[in-house]
Structure 1
Amino acid sequence: MIEDYFKSYKIFTDTEIQNFIKHFEVKQVKKNDFFVKQGATCNKVAYVNNGVFRSFTSSQNGENTSCCFRFPHKLMTAYSAFISNNTSQESIQAICDAEILVIDKNKLEELGKENYKWLLFSKTIAEEEYLELEQRIFQLQSKSALQKYNQLLLDQPEYIQQIPLHYLASYLGITQRHLSRIRKEVTF
């Protein structure tokens, strides 16, 4: 629940949270619909209420590479495009039907001017994004595909079955055949 998400940061009062979440718009997203497309601007943030999203880049020859997944009860945006006002280098697409709560960047900036706590929250989110990116870089450089797959299973066991194998293989940097071998090695 979005209220619990904001409460977990221990920055806002319950009243501030209630006043903030009324600015979110509920949107239903169908499987394969995009939150943002590579090359487009991104001026919104979404809270994933339910569903799973994938972030990916497309090469000039049309090959897609999965960068990360967004699971329920987390914020989602094309972060570098959002903060820089440049076009997005990634696409974010629903893997299954989903519900998101969306807020516009202009509204977030307004809230930041009204209450310093939003600036503290923004700083905290930026730090989390940095840590997630750093963890992903270290993972790519030092972990095997099996280790990365096991970490996904550990972190998101209830959602991993919703991710198509070719997206998982792309995320892990391996072929689908190799992923099938890894999945046979893993015992639940």
Structure 2
Amino acid sequence: MKTFLQSFHILTAEDIENFMKHTRRKTLQKGAFFVRENEHCNEVAFIESGLFRSFYHNSNGEEVTYCFLSEQSLLTAYSAYITGQRTTENIQALAPSELVYISKSALEELQENNVRWLTVFKTLAEQEYLNLERRIFTLQRESAEQRYLHLLQHHPKYLLEIPLQYLASYLGISQRHLSRIRQQIKN
């Protein structure tokens, strides 16, 4: 967590130590939820180890996976965290996970007392926007095979650790289509 915060080159060592005083640790087992739909999300967590998926239910009640997060990533139901409303998403551990988390009230306190935190939060919000835009463009511009190849190139660990039904959902295709793509790439 400290290394992650230092990577912004904005905060002082004292800023980071003060932040760490407000954090807590949490262990989640495989299958456990960080947050479920219709709950409030008043925490931000840093994934020290583990793997998560974010998903929602579509109008047919089917699960749609839209995001995977692993080590050295921040974890929260971002829109619910910002608005204070109940979340429409579920964030579930796909592996045993270790988190360091901090409450929204503690983050707001840090922000009110130190302008450097505003800069860090602005940077994080910008990164989240860019990630979201990249995801939308990928789904709209690339074929399913291109999306799979991108995962293979940039996140090969996901292909080994994530169940096929979640990968297929994330890629916006059926499991059957995913199996065909995987077979074509092997040949």
Which band: TM-score by shorter chain? over 0.9
How large is the Cα RMSD of the aligned pairs? Answer: 1.3
Q: Which residue is 1:34 aligned to?
A: 33
What fraction of aligned residue pairs are identical, expressed as a percent? 48
What CA distance in whole angstroms lies between the structure 1 residues aligned with 2:159 and 2:64? Answer: 17
Name whichever of 145-154 and 159-168 sits farther off: 145-154
Sort the Cα spacing of 1:13 and 1:90 in 2 relative to 1 into closer, same or farther, 3 A.
same
Change (3 A) 1:121 1:139: same
Alignment coverage as a number of residue pairs: 186
Within-5 A mapping of 1:55-74: 55-59=54-58, 61-74=60-73
1:114 aligns with 2:107: no
Could you state the TM-score of these two structures normalised by the residue count of structure 2? 0.94
1:145-174 deviation per Cα after TM superposition (whole angstroms, max 9, x unaligned): 111122222222234311110000001111
Tell me, yes or no, if the aligned pair for 1:148 and 1:172 is still in contact at 8 Å: yes
Q: Which residue of 1 aligns with 2:171?
A: 172
Correspondence for 1:93: 92
Distance 2:90 2:152 in 1: 24
Question: Residue type matched to 2:105 in 1?
Answer: N
SS of 1:139's equivalent in the other structure is helix
Q: What's the secondary structure of 2:156's corresponding residue? A: coil
Tell me the SS of whatever aligns to 1:136: helix
Q: TM-score, normalised by structure 1?
A: 0.94
Distance 2:152 2:38 in 1: 32
2:31–2:94: 8 Å Cα contact kept in structure 1?
yes
